[in-house]
Structure 1
């Protein structure tokens, strides 16, 4: 078995993704309660004691809600950069010194045969990051909570076999929605969230012949629909001459309330 993953949940109600290599398994973010994480993991036939580490992208509650409790329950080390540690410490309870690992932005950490590198992203958090996983030449990139896709982000996640990319909102739905204007302005800003259109435009540069699948992630419950996100992104691809047969289409959904099926990164 090679590199594989399942997105346990994605969206403002909580985010968590399991990435499993040949001999090590990590959980990226723990944005649900420990109990809910256990339930979602059971749906995918895996238990907390099978994990080797927790990785954190940033300190917002939809990414760390269950972090402390889950880490203590299964005696897991937590990896995050120093600024994120400083921002989230008061929210996650006591973590013993030996389980607190500082992984600075841009650093690569190796778990068995799986290499993990963080990279900086633009979001209104202390020092938010995305992660790239590589094992035996297979590449999986996680990129959500992006105000925009910078050139540095593109350099890290381009040419991925599989990409999990934010497609948070439909801009018009957001503008017409019930949120106060200051919240809308934050979401639309360069430190907010990626729109459907922005995701589609980014994929024009990010997708290569190597790219097999793209999961659209972190959708807003109030200002987006998965069918709309899929249609918007696909229209942008087609308008730029990129067409796929139905059974070969790379776009895949994520869910806020259930995990995606296990996906082997090398699978075409």
Structure 2
């Protein structure tokens, strides 16, 4: 099973997850051209994709969805609320009949040889979700756009082999930055985004010996930077009451504008 970030950040998100026989994207929040260029680096063609899993309808997650899915006739899977948001998005154009498939959180479905487990997340969208994907005894997950987390989220992210986890902002940078007060409140709220500190604390709750690969993602362009996110999350792990130290983790930050290393589990 492989996982790779084609793009991850507040300006656009697109994650590849696949096996030898099944190829999926989680979100298509970048242009068709950039998606195709990313897939080329993975030696995957657009027509080989088995599905696009959409987390929610915000533009940084669906910007390229209409053009890309229409070109290759790729089925799209999302919650009913997210589908309503997609259908109302004027920028996507008319979606062909039969491409949009509703799914339910906490109800597993299969695409090819990958079991997909959608789970609820706390974000200011219609019906957002994250995805846990399993194949041949291995599990990976994409967990971004979390305003907060609880025991339910921790349970969904237990026993992973790899994870893409949100580390959106540094709280101090956000508080002193130029965003309007209302936007700052939204980002810091329970339906906003995970700070670097909260990302580290959530990671502590899901760490185990077989979680070999950790990608930090969905960084804010204005209120974070890669080194700060990495060091803050690492410090949270080191200071926590557990057996792990930050420097022992195979952890890195997914880039906004380029394809990440390929995770193989």
Q: Which residue of 2 aligns with 1:100?
A: 100
Q: Secondary structure at the match of 2:33?
A: helix
| Distance in structure 1 (CA, Å) of the matches to 2:27 and 2:246 | 34
Cα RMSD of the aligned pairs, angstroms, is 1.4
Q: CA deviation at 1:149?
A: 1.4
Q: Secondary structure at the match of 2:229?
A: helix
Q: Which residue of 2 aligns with 1:76?
A: 74
Instruction: For 1:133-212, list aligned pairs within 5 A.
Output: 133-212=133-212
* Length, aligned pairs only: 262
Q: CA deviation at 1:52?
A: 1.0
Deviations 1:12-32 (A, max 9, x none): 110001111231111110001
Q: CA deviation at 1:158?
A: 1.6
| Distance in structure 2 (CA, Å) of the matches to 1:245 and 1:11 | 23
| Distance in structure 2 (CA, Å) of the matches to 1:218 and 1:190 | 17
Q: Does 1:113 align with 2:113?
A: yes
| Distance in structure 2 (CA, Å) of the matches to 1:97 and 1:156 | 32
| Distance in structure 2 (CA, Å) of the matches to 1:204 and 1:36 | 34
| Distance in structure 2 (CA, Å) of the matches to 1:113 and 1:95 | 27
Q: Which residue of 1 aligns with 2:50?
A: 52
Question: Please, which moves more after superposition, 205-214 or 177-186?
Answer: 205-214
Q: Does 1:8 align with 2:6?
A: yes
Q: CA deviation at 1:102?
A: 0.9
Q: Is the 8 Å Cα contact of residues 10 and 16 (structure 1) preserved in structure 2? A: yes
| Distance in structure 2 (CA, Å) of the matches to 1:14 and 1:64 | 8
Q: Is the 8 Å Cα contact of residues 166 and 219 (structure 1) preserved in structure 2? A: yes
Compared CA separation, residues 243 and 100, structure 1 to 2 (3 A): closer
Q: Is the 8 Å Cα contact of residues 50 and 112 (structure 2) preserved in structure 1? A: no
Question: Please, which moves more after superposition, 116-125 or 96-105?
Answer: 96-105
| Distance in structure 1 (CA, Å) of the matches to 2:187 and 2:232 | 19
| Distance in structure 2 (CA, Å) of the matches to 1:98 and 1:224 | 40
TM-score normalised by the chain length of structure 2 = 0.95
| Distance in structure 1 (CA, Å) of the matches to 2:17 and 2:42 | 12
| Distance in structure 1 (CA, Å) of the matches to 2:39 and 2:62 | 16
Compared CA separation, residues 48 and 150, structure 1 to 2 (3 A): same
Gaps of 5+ in 2: none
Gaps of 5+ in 1: none
Q: Is the 8 Å Cα contact of residues 22 and 113 (structure 1) preserved in structure 2? A: no
Q: Does 1:236 align with 2:249?
A: no
Q: Does 1:227 align with 2:227?
A: yes
Deviations 1:171-227 (A, max 9, x none): 000001110010000000000000000011111111112211211110011111111
Q: Is the 8 Å Cα contact of residues 78 and 99 (structure 1) preserved in structure 2? A: yes
| Distance in structure 1 (CA, Å) of the matches to 2:221 and 2:252 | 17
Q: Secondary structure at the match of 1:98?
A: coil
Q: Secondary structure at the match of 2:115?
A: strand
Q: CA deviation at 1:40?
A: 2.2
TM-score normalised by the chain length of structure 1 = 0.94
Compared CA separation, residues 239 and 70, structure 1 to 2 (3 A): same
Deviations 1:55-100 (A, max 9, x none): 1000000000010110000011111111111111132222233222
| Distance in structure 2 (CA, Å) of the matches to 1:244 and 1:85 | 41
| Distance in structure 1 (CA, Å) of the matches to 2:155 and 2:118 | 12
| Distance in structure 1 (CA, Å) of the matches to 2:109 and 2:254 | 27
